[in-house]
DNA sequence: AAAAATCGTTGATAAATATCAATTAATTAT
DNA sequence: ATAATTAATTGATATTTATCAACGATTTTT
C-alpha cells in the first residue's frame, strides 16, 4: 500500500463523475486539495466491514469488488467497480461505519476523500446532495433486483445473469472473456463454489461458454439471456 | 377508497416524523395545504410496482406491507409499516417509478404528498435533504441485512427472525401475539407457504410458539433469537 | 344459511442445492 | 526451478426445499 499526495490534478477524474459535476470551482479545488491517492495490490482490503467510515474513495485505476461479510465466513458479492467510480456506503449520515468490505481485485489506485469534507459539501451545495440521493436510490433499485435474483431464480439463471453482468459491465473492454475466480462467481450468485463450477460445466457442455483456465468466454449471449430470465 | 381533504391539521402527525422536523413553519404549512388524506381497506393497493411515482404517502393509521413483485407471481415482502411512517421509494430522483408495491393490510389511512412539492422542499431545505439521505441509507443497511438473511440462513433461522421482527416491530402493541397470513410469512422469508407452515409446526411441537388459528403466540423468545442466529 | 372462495394443514414425492472427500491444475514463494 | 500453497474439478452422498395433491377449516359472498 503505497501513498502519494496529489500526483496530478484530479480534474480529468472528477469530471467523469456525474455526481461531482454540481460542485463549484472552489468546492472542486477543495476536494483536490484534501484528497490522497493510494495504490492497492490484488487482495488488499480498502475498507473493512465494521470499521469506522472515515473516508470515501474514488477508484482511478484497476478493479475492486464490494461484498458483505455474512455468516460462517461466507461472503455475498454485491458488485464490482471500475474507474471512475465513487465508493461510499450506507454508513454515511447514519452510523458512519462501513457496512461492506471493499477489496482490490486488480492493481488499483484510489483517491481518499474524508467524510467531513464531503459533509461540508453536502451542506453547502444543494445540487450535490440531490445527486447523491439519486445515486443512493439507484443502488437501492439494484439491491431490489439482486434480492429477487438471488431468492427467486435457480442456480442456472443466477449464473447466466452473473456472466452477462460480468461480460457487459465489468470486463466489457475485453473481447468478451471473463477472468473470474470461481469463489467470486459463487459469492456473486449466493451458492457454493462447487455448484457454480457444475453449472459452468453444463454451460460448457452445451457450448454456451468456453472455459480456458481461469477465464470464461461467452459463445452464446442470447442463450444466456434466455436462461437468465426463463430458467 | 374514500377521499377527504385535510380533515385536521397534520401537525401532530408530521412532528412525529424526524424527517420532517427540519422543515420551516412555512414549508410545513405548504405540506399541510397540498396533502390529501385517503382511506384504504385491507387488500387495497396504494402504490403499484411499475407505475409512475407521483406521490409519497405518510401512513397515519393502520398497517401496510411493502413488497417486490418478483418472478412467477411470487412476491418478496420487504417490510411492514405502521403509523407514523413516510413511504417513498427509490424511484425518487431516478426514474420516478414505483419499484415496490404498497398494500393496506389493516384498514389504513394515508396522506398523499406530491413529488413536485417534495422536490421543491429538497431544493430549498438542505437539512431536509440530508435527513432524506440518512433515511435512504438506513433502508440500504436493512436491505443488506435482508440479503444475508435470505441467502445465508436456513428456513428455521429465517422464520425465527421473521417472528421476532413481527412481534417486536410490527405487532409490538399487542401482547406478543402475531396475526399473520401464512403466505405473508412465506413472502417475508422467501420460501413456499407449505415450508413456512412446516417450520411453524416444528416450533409449535417444541413449545416455542403457540398457534391459535391465524395468530401466533411466542412462548420462548430467547430460543427464537438463538435459532435466528445459530440455525 | 348455503354456496363459493380463500386459507391452513398434511403427506408423499421430486427437485434443487450443499457438503465432504479426493484429485488435479495453477499460482506463488523459496 | 522446486516446493508450498491456493484454486479448480469431480464424484458420491446427504440435506434442504419445493411441488403436487388432497382435505379440512375459515371467511366471504350471495
- In order of A68, A78, A88, B137, the CA distances from A102 in angstroms are 9, 10, 10, 18
CB of B211 under 7 A from strand C?
Answer: yes
Our CA-based measurement puts residue B178 at a distance from the nearest CA of chain A, in whole angstroms, of 25
Chain A residues lying within 8 Å of B116, measured CB to CB: none
Instruction: Indicate if the pLDDT at residue A213 is higher than 50.
Output: yes
Surface-to-core class of residue A164, CB atoms within 10 Å of its CB (0-12 exposed, 13-18 middle, 19+ buried) = middle
Domain extents for chain B? 2-150, 153-229
CB of A231 under 7 A from strand C?
Answer: no
* CA B132/CA B118 separation, integer angstroms: 11
H or E, element range at B47: strand B45-47
Q: Which CATH architecture has domain B153-229?
A: Orthogonal Bundle (1.10)
pLDDT at A9: 67
pLDDT band at residue A15 under the 50/70/90 scheme: confident
Contacts of B229 (CB under 8 A, 6+ apart): B157
Question: Is the CA virtual torsion B220, B222, B228, B230 positive or negative?
Answer: negative
Contact A160, A58 (CB under 8 A): no
CB of A155 under 7 A from strand C?
Answer: yes
Instruction: Indicate if the pLDDT at residue A86 is higher than 90.
Output: yes
Ranges of chain B with pLDDT below 50 = 4-5, 7
Q: Dump pLDDT digits (tens) for A108-152.
A: 999 999 999 988 888 778 788 888 899 999 999 999 999 999 999
Mean pLDDT along residues A180-198: 98
Contact A108, A38 (CB under 8 A): no
Q: Which residue from A122, A138, A151 is facing B190, i.e. has the nearest CB?
A: A151
* CA B67/CA B101 separation, integer angstroms: 5
pLDDT at B69: 97
Chain A residues lying within 8 Å of B74, measured CB to CB: 152
H or E, element range at B138: helix B126-152
Q: Which fold has domain A2-150?
A: Jelly Rolls (2.60.120)
Protein CA at A204 to nucleotide C1' at C2, angstroms: 61
Answer whether A130 sits within 8 Å of B123, measured CB to CB.
yes
C-alpha cell belonging to residue B6: 385535510
Residue among A56, A89, A130, A140 with most chain B CBs within 10 A, to mutate: A140
Instruction: Indicate if the pLDDT at residue A8 is higher than 60.
Output: no
Answer whether A137 sits within 8 Å of B68, measured CB to CB.
no
Coil, helix or strand at residue A63:
coil
C-alpha cell belonging to residue B17: 416524523
Coil, helix or strand at residue B6:
coil
pLDDT at A5: 47
Chain C positions with any atom < 7 A from a protein CB? 7-12, 16-21, 25-27
Match domain A154-229 to its CATH number in 1.10.10.10, 2.60.260.20, 3.40.50.10610, 3.40.50.300: 1.10.10.10
Higher-confidence residue of A97 and A117: namely: A97
CB of B217 under 7 A from strand D?
Answer: no
Amino acid at each position: 500500500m503505497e501513498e502519494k499526495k496529489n500526483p496530478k490534478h484530479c480534474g480529468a477524474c472528477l469530471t467523469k463523475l456525474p455526481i461531482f459535476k454540481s460542485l463549484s470551482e472552489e468546492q472542486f479545488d477543495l476536494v483536490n486539495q484534501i484528497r490522497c491517492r493510494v495504490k492497492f495490490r490484488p487482495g488488499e482490503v480498502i475498507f473493512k466491514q465494521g470499521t469506522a467510515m472515515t473516508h470515501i474513495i474514488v477508484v482511478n485505476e484497476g478493479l475492486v469488488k464490494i461484498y458483505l461479510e455474512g455468516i460462517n465466513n461466507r461472503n455475498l458479492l454485491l458488485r464490482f467497480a471500475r474507474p471512475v467510480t465513487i465508493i461510499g456506503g450506507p454508513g454515511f449520515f447514519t452510523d458512519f461505519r462501513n457496512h461492506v468490505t471493499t477489496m482490490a481485485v486488480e492493481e488499483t489506485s484510489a483517491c481518499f476523500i474524508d467524510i467531513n469534507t464531503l459533509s461540508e459539501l453536502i451542506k453547502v451545495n444543494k445540487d450535490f446532495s440531490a445527486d447523491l440521493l439519486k445515486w443512493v436510490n439507484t443502488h437501492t433499485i439494484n439491491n431490489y433486483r439482486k434480492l429477487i435474483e438471488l431468492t427467486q431464480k435457480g442456480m442456472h439463471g443466477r449464473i447466466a445473469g452473473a456472466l452477462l453482468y460480468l461480460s457487459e459491465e465489468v470486463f466489457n473492454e475485453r473481447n468478451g472473456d471473463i477472468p473470474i475466480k470461481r469463489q467470486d462467481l459463487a459469492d456473486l450468485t449466493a451458492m457454493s463454489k462447487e455448484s457454480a463450477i457444475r453449472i459452468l460445466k453444463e454451460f460448457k457442455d452445451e457450448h454456451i461458454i468456453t472455459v480456458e483456465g481461469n477465464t470464461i468466454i461467452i459463445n452464446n449471449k442470447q442463450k444466456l439471456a434466455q436462461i437468465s430470465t426463463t430458467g
